[in-house]
Amino acid sequence: MSQPTLPKNDAGEDGRKAPVNRRTDAAAPRKQRTLPALNLQALGIYIAAVVIFLIFGMLNPNFLTSGNLRDIAVSASVNAIIGLGITFVIITGGIDLAVGSIASFVGIVSATLMVNAGTSPFLALLAGIGLGLVCGAINGLLITKLKLPPFIATLGTMSIYQGFAYVVTNGRPVYNVPKDFVFMLNSYVGGIPVAVILVAVLAILCWLLLRRTVFGQNVIATGGSEETAWLSGVRVDRVKIAVYALSGVLAGVGGLVIVARINAAQTDAGSPYLLTAIASAVIGGANLMGGEGRIAGTLVGALILGALTNGLVLLNVPSFYEQIVTGLVVVIAVALDQGSKGWPLFKKKSPPKKEATATA
């Protein structure tokens, strides 16, 4: 294994360390390998998902059938795809409110290209992804170069991109999307829906990107402490632009999946997914303060939301209640997440800690 040159191999030369500490080194990791707080936290969401599925399964025998589970997976796919991008954004400590509009905009543009301009489905797909990239990158540029707060920047572009989506077709939906396109994103391979396969592939890629590349580590570092990242030589502006661009791409992919699923492009098809995609990421453990977020968590978050919608319909609960339940799930999930770190309510009151004043 190649080690970079170490400028000072003799740091421990006064004999105080090397032999003794080498031994404790080897022993310590095994002893302290378990990180109970972290594991419990990550595990909690999976347990919650299992519980929710079991409860619906007991209440309605049709819920846990393979056909219904497939429906849930498909209905969760758009939230999952958009949520993956949002997860990256949230980890940097930002937020992307434009994803719903980008999904609508990309969907309507790609559909128009295919239906009105006769572009091939594959090229239309690529064009859609490219448009998502551009839209997202613009968000990133506004945030880094013009120093707009992410909330404001994407609030603005949310409206702008939605407006463009209306302008493209004067607000009219585009019907009769080519069968080839629908086939690409809304068919089955070996009984498994393409959308689900797509989510799985994207999730693996996103996980690799986040956890096993320098870029991903820089994303986490930027969100964890932007100043630390900057002083360590991370180009934080580039990281942020890339993250918003990625969010735009995934929002675009989500928009294309919507088009394939309903066989048509509607001018505001993406907007309902904004809040649910953010909710998926947050339920999955993404922390809006930055530095934390999990790919698998976001997927499970999307599945939980999909299961709730589906289960409540099966139980004949009026659809208005669905929103109440969704909101409650978000609040409870985040409260539990915070709870695992200790609610201030239950903490012993201690005087405010002010280290700066001690030495200043």
Residues in touch with another protein (CB under 8 A):
1, 3-14, 16-18, 21-22, 24-25, 28-29, 32-33, 35, 208, 212-214, 217, 220-221, 224-225, 227-235, 291-292, 351-355, 357-360
CA 284 – CA 176 distance, rounded (Å): 36
32 versus 66: smaller Cβ distance to another protein: 32
Give the DSSP per-residue string, 246-269.
HHHHHHHHHHHHHHHHHTSB-TTT
Nearest Cα residue to 267 out of 116, 111, 77: 111
193 versus 216: smaller Cβ distance to another protein: 216
CA 165 – CA 173 distance, rounded (Å): 10
User: Measured from the CB of residue 260, what is the shortest distance to another protein in angstroms?
Assistant: 31
User: Measured from the CB of residue 208, what is the shortest distance to another protein in angstroms?
Assistant: 7
User: Measured from the CB of residue 60, what is the shortest distance to another protein in angstroms?
Assistant: 41
* Secondary structure letter of residue 352 according to DSSP: P
User: Measured from the CB of residue 147, what is the shortest distance to another protein in angstroms?
Assistant: 11
190 versus 351: smaller Cβ distance to another protein: 351
Nearest Cα residue to 223 out of 285, 290, 280: 290
User: Measured from the CB of residue 214, what is the shortest distance to another protein in angstroms?
Assistant: 6
12 versus 171: smaller Cβ distance to another protein: 12
319 versus 357: smaller Cβ distance to another protein: 357
Q: Which helix (H) or strand (E) holds 188?
A: strand 188-189
28 versus 336: smaller Cβ distance to another protein: 28
For 189, the 3-state DSSP assignment is strand
Q: Which helix (H) or strand (E) holds 231?
A: helix 226-231
- Residue 273 token pair: 């997914």
- Residue 348 token pair: 């012993």
Count of all residues that appear for the chain in the document = 360
User: Measured from the CB of residue 44, what is the shortest distance to another protein in angstroms?
Assistant: 17
